[in-house]
Structure 1
Amino acid sequence: MKFYYPLVPALIGVSITLVQPQKALALSEAEIAKVAKAITVEIDNQNGSGTGIIIKREGKNYTVLTAKHVIEAQAKYEIVTPEGAHYSLNYSTVKKLRDVDLAVVQFTSNQNYPVAKIGNSDESTEGTTAYVAGFPRVTAAISKSIYNFTDGRITANAASKPLRDGYALIYSNNTLAGMSGGPVLNDKGELIGVHGRADEVDIDRKSGFNLGIPINTFLRLSLQAGVDVGIRPPATPVATAPKADDFYIQAQDKLNKGNYPGAIADFNQAIKLNPQYAQAYLGRGITQARQKNYQEALADYNQAIRLNLKNPEAPLAYIFRAEVRDKTQDLQGALADYNQAIRLNPKLPFAYGYRGIVRKRLGDLQGALSDANEYIRLDSTTTAAYVFRGNIRAQLGDNLGAITDFNQALRLNPKNAEAYFERGNSRGTLKDWKQAITDFTQALQINPNYAEAYYLRGSVRYELGDKRGGVSDWERAADLFLQQGKTEFYQQTLNLIKQFPQ
């Protein structure tokens, strides 16, 4: 019989003063990267890791600033300095600041480590450059924590009206779990914030909504916690009418919580106060798209692109617009947007992944394979990239190459049901029936509602003579297809049951 299957989409000293005798000059990105690496430490324990910033030295004692949630639980922690030296952290010396996600820890060393130069976070406004450094957490894909340094732009500074836990800086840098507590630096290499949170649109794509706590917030609260870094903050800003930034940060917070009407209302206010606020248009577009208001989303993405063409974040607007064009069946428009995003920034791995999906849907399997190869070359730690390339290889008839990709995907994430399903598909095509059944069964153990896995397992069972087991799997697949609104696959499965009875 024919082996049926549907396609599945897929910072020396403490005498620094805040006000410098002369204005500091901007540094090159390479110079800032060197500064960041010298002041950034890893905070490690057996359950994970985070990041910290060296902000003070007194003799052999160093003070490290971090996000409170990094050292929230009492445990055995170590400070790992840039050159790889390990120092124990005495948890009884930890000082957690009230009402903000900040804490300070200490370690002792005979070595001479640089100390962060404190900046004035009030001067970090929309459009200014921001750099974030840290140590991504070890995962199945990342076997060793490797220092990471990324550039971006400040998209909002709502210090006068922060979110809960003191978060008020928003920036577009691409960050990863484990970088919490890391430094946010300006273009002079000065510490302006502490990174703490990041929002993801999906598993591998950021929305540009990264959150940090302004360093001025720390300076204003530190003495209350018994921490004196020898620097006094600027005067507390006089309360003023809300700024566009204030509405923007509230809107993004509401968007993340699923309060779409509230988010739209706040984005509207941000745009009313600042009609040139490209990120507000982008955020409103994302909100509209999540509500399937695609024409409104397209209008906002168009405006974001017009306002944002010369900024490093411009590719993101093209990618979001491409997504909406894809959903409205404008595949050529989506392809053109992905092409433009890649021209603007050829180092965005996921852009190749999404373009590859569109190319596949347009029947360009070789183009899709080329994009999958580039995705993996730029980022070899994303499970989805291997699953996608494996799927393309299978469709091109290279099932052994496909199985190699699915094996790698499962090494990165042993609980990826799709990788088991796709490997089972390729094994079935190669008539490795028993291993195919094992893979489909594993996929179903991870995802009991995986209709396609029931469908293909039924096909293999029937092929092996287990007609009752095969039809039983098909019947379960049909029920799930109907529940999931996949009417075409539902009807296809019913026809199969009629054609091949028990």
Structure 2
Amino acid sequence: MLILVIAQAFNQQGFSQNNGSKPLNSPYSLINSEQLCQIAQQITVKITGRESWGSGVIVLKNEHTYTIVTTAHILKQDESQYTIETQDGQSYQGLLISRFDNNKTDGYDLAVLQFQSLQHSYQVANLVQWQQLEQVMAGGFPQDTQKFFCTKLGQVSLQLEQSMEEGYQLGYFLDTRKGMSGCPILNQQGQVVGIHGWGEPLIFINHDLYLYRDGSRVSQSLNIPPEEALDLLSASGWAIPAEILPILYPDLVNFQDN
């Protein structure tokens, strides 16, 4: 299968912060799949509501308050409170803080929730920009098993020069499952490079499923025939890059410029 990586130059400023938790790994060491899955499990939560199911990533800790980022599409518009289940089996009441999916052309399929834990402490994710040639892994809570699941390491298939509708920009070949929307995409150092939101589509695949924000077709912008491009796009899962998060939510200052 054709693997195409389109590099993008970002000029956004990175931030770092000591959030009170020790780093899970050296920023320059590669980690095996089993260790990566353990890291993913520590920073990933299950999110449920009356009609909602998905995964989320712990991205900030402020005393006893934890901030979670997930995909907005897993949260029903008429719900504001959710159940957050952490990796140790504890359940907390989650409160919706912000949604960024105001529309497809300039919004992002992202939302922020918070919960409080007075007795238990949880690890916070390290957020970085994906670097070329890095393999990635996803870890979340599929709806069919309701148990934490990690994919195998896989290749990044596309890094688009601009984001598609709802902010999706980073494509990869990973066996993600329904219910994993909102889960982290980790690099080989255990750092979060994106928030997973799209798996392989279940509906009829056509060029208009993959549009840039200006309405133009992604399949016609790549340096391969449009039908081959559509095959590549539809075979990929998709994430919103981690470097978008501190721009949308300035309180989140643990993004590391690598």
TM-score by length of 1: 0.38
1:96 aligns with 99
2:42 aligns with 38
Cα shift readout 1:156-214 (whole Å, capped 9, x = no counterpart)? 111x31101110010110111110000000000000000001124689xx953101000
Structure 2: where are the runs of 5+ without partners?
1-15, 102-106, 205-231
Q: Aligned equivalents of 2:51 and 2:70: distance in 1? A: 17
Q: Aligned equivalents of 2:253 and 2:157: distance in 1? A: 30
**Superposed displacement of residue 46, structure 1:** 2.3
2:140 aligns with 134
**Superposed displacement of residue 128, structure 1:** 2.7
Q: Aligned equivalents of 1:131 and 1:108: distance in 2? A: 28
Specify the SS of the correspondent of 2:247: helix
Cα shift readout 1:306-359 (whole Å, capped 9, x = no counterpart)? xxxxxxxxxxxxxxxxxxxxxxxxxxxxxxxxxxxxxxxxxxxxxxxxxxxxxx
Matched-pair contact (CA < 8 Å) for 1:15–1:230: no
Q: Aligned equivalents of 2:56 and 2:47: distance in 1? A: 7
Matching residue within 105, 110, 116 for 1:108? 116
**Superposed displacement of residue 71, structure 1:** 1.9
Matched-pair contact (CA < 8 Å) for 2:136–2:155: yes
1:68 aligns with 72
Q: Aligned equivalents of 2:255 and 2:91: distance in 1? A: 31
1:270 aligns with none
1:198 aligns with 199
Corresponding letter in the other structure for 1:220: I
Q: Aligned equivalents of 1:71 and 1:14: distance in 2? A: 29
Q: Aligned equivalents of 1:72 and 1:153: distance in 2? A: 32
Matched-pair contact (CA < 8 Å) for 1:156–1:170: yes
**Superposed displacement of residue 41, structure 1:** 0.2
2:246 aligns with 219
Corresponding letter in the other structure for 2:254: I
Specify the SS of the correspondent of 1:173: coil
2:215 aligns with none
Structure exhibiting the larger radius of gyration computed from Cα positions: 1
Corresponding letter in the other structure for 1:167: Y
Cα 1:33–1:23 shift into 2, 3 Å: closer
**Superposed displacement of residue 233, structure 1:** 6.4
Q: Which has the higher contact order (CA 8 A, sep 6+)?
A: 2
**Superposed displacement of residue 97, structure 1:** 2.6
2:224 aligns with none
Of Structure 1 and Structure 2, the greater strand share is in 2
TM-score by length of 2: 0.71
Q: Aligned equivalents of 1:136 and 1:67: distance in 2? A: 15
Superposed CA RMSD in Å reads 2.6
Structure 1 segment 76-475 matched on structure 2, within 5 A: 76-91=81-96, 94-97=97-100, 99-110=107-118, 111-121=120-130, 123=131, 125=132, 127-137=133-143, 142=144, 144-151=145-152, 152-158=154-160, 160-200=161-201, 208-223=235-250, 228-231=251-254, 234=257
Q: Aligned equivalents of 1:74 and 1:201: distance in 2? A: 26
Q: Aligned equivalents of 1:233 and 1:146: distance in 2? A: 30
Matched-pair contact (CA < 8 Å) for 2:67–2:112: yes
Cα shift readout 1:389-432 (whole Å, capped 9, x = no counterpart)? xxxxxxxxxxxxxxxxxxxxxxxxxxxxxxxxxxxxxxxxxxxx
Cα 1:234–1:187 shift into 2, 3 Å: closer
Cα 1:40–1:23 shift into 2, 3 Å: closer
Corresponding letter in the other structure for 2:114: Q
Instruction: Could you list the structure 1 runs, at least 4 aligned residues long, displaced by more than 6 angstroms after superposition.
Output: none
Q: Aligned equivalents of 1:195 and 1:77: distance in 2? A: 20
Cα 1:200–1:165 shift into 2, 3 Å: closer
Matched-pair contact (CA < 8 Å) for 1:43–1:77: yes
Q: Aligned equivalents of 1:156 and 1:132: distance in 2? A: 16
Cα shift readout 1:259-313 (whole Å, capped 9, x = no counterpart)? xxxxxxxxxxxxxxxxxxxxxxxxxxxxxxxxxxxxxxxxxxxxxxxxxxxxxxx
Specify the SS of the correspondent of 2:127: coil
Specify the SS of the correspondent of 2:162: coil
